């Protein structure tokens, strides 16, 4: 059986768990990282030298990097719509997945660490303000893209929705004012209607 190593409240583990649930795969997840620890142990580091979560073990195939794991799972076990069915659509899925990782994730991480993991009296107001402005600008780009589509690649959900969809939950649940982005909100509400998203992504933000 496929094994996923990593605690359930990690946004990067959530991408993988949401993906396997949508693909209908049986997996065994183990709590590692954060308060559970274990990711600094030699046996884990032999599988993932970064000491980060998640790690996927699929028989003798071991892989890290959550977006790459989602791509691997959709490629090996998925079909359309989750695995886009043309090179062009796979290219666009990769575009949005990489845009999340390189562009959206850094300021979203600042907001999360400052507002969820840092005591109020130790927060950096300037860092929060800069990250919030940048995230607002970036989510507005996705809002414009979603203006005439239900999901990132069109009428149906695909792997392109997974990284940004996980982050969108945090964006809509953290305690701050958000710009009015109706297409983004409607997309996030469509994701929230999905059982797999509710079970694996809509968890307490800790
Ligand atoms: N680029 C990596 C980042 C992995 C990462 O930073 N994971 C965090 C959790 S979201 C982690 O391992 N933190 C240390 C810990 O949980 O102990 C990926 O997408 O898989």
Per-position DSSP letters for 147-205, written without gaps between them: GG-SBTTBSS--TTHHHHHHHHHHHHHSSS-----HHHHHHHHHHHTSHHHHHHTSS--
Contact 15, 71 (CB under 8 A): no
Instruction: State the average pLDDT over residues 144-172.
Output: 98
- For the stretch 30-85, pLDDT in tens is 999 999 999 999 999 999 999 999 999 999 999 999 999 999 999 999 999 999 99
- The distance in angstroms from the start CA to the end CA of the chain is 29
If asked whether residues 17 and 99 sit together in one domain, one would say no
Q: Is the CB of 33 under 6 A from ligand 1?
A: yes
Residue 203's pLDDT band, with cuts at 50, 70 and 90, is very high
Residue 21's pLDDT band, with cuts at 50, 70 and 90, is very high
* 205 found inside a domain: no
End position of a domain, from candidates 31, 48, 77: 77
**pLDDT confidence of residue 86:** 97
End position of a domain, from candidates 23, 55, 77: 77
* Residue 149 CA to ligand 1 centre (angstroms): 31
Tokens representing residue 127 in the block: 């860092």
If asked whether residues 94 and 14 sit together in one domain, one would say no
Q: Is the CB of 12 under 6 A from ligand 1?
A: yes
* Residue 85 CA to ligand 1 centre (angstroms): 29
Q: Which among 44, 50, 11, 19 is positioned nearest to 30, based on CA atoms?
A: 44
Contact 66, 7 (CB under 8 A): no
Instruction: State the average pLDDT over residues 168-196.
Output: 97
**Local structure of 107: helix, strand or coil:** helix
Distance CA 33, CA 141 (A): 33
**pLDDT confidence of residue 175:** 92
* 206 found inside a domain: no
* Residue 7 CA to ligand 1 centre (angstroms): 10
Ligand 1 atom closest to the Cα of residue 11 is 10
**pLDDT confidence of residue 11:** 97
* Residue 54 CA to ligand 1 centre (angstroms): 7
* Residue 200 CA to ligand 1 centre (angstroms): 16
Q: Is the CB of 14 under 6 A from ligand 1?
A: no
Q: Is the CB of 65 under 6 A from ligand 1?
A: yes
Residue nearest to ligand 1 atom 13, measured at CA: 52
**pLDDT confidence of residue 82:** 98
Give the CATH number of the domain where residue 51 resides.
Answer: 3.40.30.10
Which residues form the domain of 14? 2-77
Predicted TM-score of the model (pTM): 0.97
Number of domains forming the structure of the chain: 2
If asked whether residues 62 and 93 sit together in one domain, one would say no
**pLDDT confidence of residue 67:** 98
* Residue 52 CA to ligand 1 centre (angstroms): 4
If asked whether residues 24 and 66 sit together in one domain, one would say yes
Residue nearest to ligand 1 atom 1, measured at CA: 65
* 151 found inside a domain: yes
**Local structure of 90: helix, strand or coil:** helix
- For the stretch 102-152, pLDDT in tens is 999 999 999 999 999 999 999 999 999 999 999 999 999 999 999 999 999
If asked whether residues 100 and 175 sit together in one domain, one would say yes
If asked whether residues 177 and 113 sit together in one domain, one would say yes
* Average pLDDT across the chain, whole number: 98
Contact 157, 194 (CB under 8 A): yes
* Residue 11 CA to ligand 1 centre (angstroms): 8
Q: Is the CB of 52 under 6 A from ligand 1?
A: yes
Residue 180's pLDDT band, with cuts at 50, 70 and 90, is very high
**pLDDT confidence of residue 191:** 98
End position of a domain, from candidates 77, 99, 123: 77
């Amino acid at each position: 059986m496929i094994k996923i190593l990593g605690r359930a409240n990690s946004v990067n583990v959530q991408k993988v768990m949401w993906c396997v649930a949508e693909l209908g795969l049986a997996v065994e997840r183990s709590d590692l990282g954060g308060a559970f620890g274990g990711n600094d142990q030699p046996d884990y580091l032999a599988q993932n030298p970064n000491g980060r979560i998640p790690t996927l073990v699929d028989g003798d195939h071991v892989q890290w990097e959550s977006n790459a794991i989602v791509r691997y799972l959709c490629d090996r076990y998925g079909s359309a719509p989750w695995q886009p069915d043309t090179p062009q659509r796979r290219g666009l899925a990769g575009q949005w997945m990489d845009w999340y990782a390189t562009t959206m994730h850094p300021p979203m991480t600042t907001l999360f660490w400052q507002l969820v993991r840092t005591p109020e009296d130790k927060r950096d107001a300037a860092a929060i303000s800069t990250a919030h402005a940048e995230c607002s600008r970036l989510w507005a780009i996705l809002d414009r893209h979603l203006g005439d589509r239900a999901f990132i690649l069109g009428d149906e959900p695909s792997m392109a929705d997974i990284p940004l969809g996980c982050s969108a939950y945090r964006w809509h649940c953290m305690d701050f004012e958000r710009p009015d982005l109706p297409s983004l909100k409607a997309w996030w509400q469509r994701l929230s209607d999905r059982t797999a998203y509710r079970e694996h992504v809509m968890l307490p933000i800790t």
